[in-house]
Amino acid sequence: MQIASKIIYGTAWKAEQTKSLVVNAVLQGFRAIDTAGQPKHYREDLVGDALEILAKEHGIKRADLFLQTKYTSVEGQDPKLAIPYNPNDPISDQIQASLEKSLANLKTTYLDSYLLHSPLKTVEQTVEAWRALISLQKAGKVRMIGVSNTYDVHILHELSRERAVEIVQNRWYEGNDWDRQVHEFCRVNGIMYQSFWTLSGSPSLVNHPALRGLAKVAGCTPEQAVFKFAQLEQVIPLSGTTSTLHMQQDVAAERIQLPPDANDYLNSLRKFVRG
């Protein structure tokens, strides 16, 4: 399935709270969930437990959700925890094993999206990993493939030689000038661009006078205005909030109807982030 909404619930750093938070996020309206095969930062197994509860107790089926996880290379794993593959195996075998573990954790037979958590040590290794994702897509185990933490357009060009990149998940925030090169590459090539740290990483955007003006005329919170603006910029933000109220507000941002007098604020914000 294509993603049904323009916001994703992020499960990083949720630890033992993962199950209850994912259940609550979906009940509040989230229909896309992001996780990873990286025990260091994610409890993918508890996401799976949450999906089971949602299906059995609330009638929300697997097919109703966009489910995304990632292969995390050895460099991103904690060797003291259970790495979901043999680090000594070839990259393609690592990815196959990691995927099978993810499918078991998430209690599903397929993924809507499978990402490389980051480029590997070399471009050659990254391409090798990308070919493994292509094989999984051809086999029908994953529907969309992409990469995360990839800020070099050259890498996207190299991967695209093999098969089109469908998703990029990066930080779209002031710390990297809103990732202008990669974001523009995604806009031009029809690639879904997802962003994490959108709120916490951009206090100057949250507090920008034009953003505050946009929130006022739209009758929403500044945080909702950030998400709405991001969505208008073809950015799908991740939200990892633990607050029920903020979950509701974050999902509602997509439905905000902007009045005509919002255009001046939007144009100011576009100049601010696009440079």
Number of domains in the chain: 1
Domain that holds residue 34: 8-201
Q: Is residue 218 part of a domain?
A: no
Per-position pLDDT tens, the chain of length 275? 567 789 999 999 999 999 999 999 999 999 999 999 999 999 999 999 999 999 999 999 999 999 999 999 999 999 999 999 999 999 999 999 999 999 999 999 999 999 999 999 999 999 999 999 999 999 999 999 999 999 999 999 999 999 999 999 999 999 999 999 999 999 999 999 999 999 999 999 999 999 999 999 999 999 999 999 999 999 999 999 999 999 999 999 999 999 999 999 999 999 999 98
Give me 58's structure tokens: 């609330």
Q: Are 112 and 68 in contact (CB under 8 A)?
A: yes
200 three-state secondary structure: coil
Q: In this structure, is residue 16 part of a structural domain?
A: yes
Residue 231 located in a structural domain = no
CA distance 28 to 248: 6
Q: What is the three-class DSSP state of 255?
A: helix
Could you tell me which residues are beta bridge partners of residue 261?
A: none
**Measured between alpha carbons, how far is 166 from 212 in angstroms, rounded to an integer?**
33
Classify residue 275: in a domain, yes or no. no
Residue 21 lies in a domain: yes
Collect contacts of 266-271 with beta carbons under 8 A, ≥24 apart: 266/210, 266/214, 266/229, 266/232, 268/208, 268/210, 269/205, 269/208, 269/210, 269/211, 269/214, 269/229, 270/233
Examine residue 209 and state whether it is found in any structural domain, yes or no: no
**What CATH code is carried by the domain that includes residue 38?**
3.20.20.100
Query: Which residues in 12-22 are b (16+ Cβ under 10 Å) and which e?
Result: bebeeebbebb
- Are the C-beta atoms of 102 and 55 separated by less than 8 Å? no
36 located within any domain: yes
Q: Is the pTM of this model over 0.95?
A: yes
Strands (E), the chain: 8-10, 32-34, 66-71, 111-116, 142-148, 167-171, 192-196, 236-239
Q: Is position 146 within any domain?
A: yes
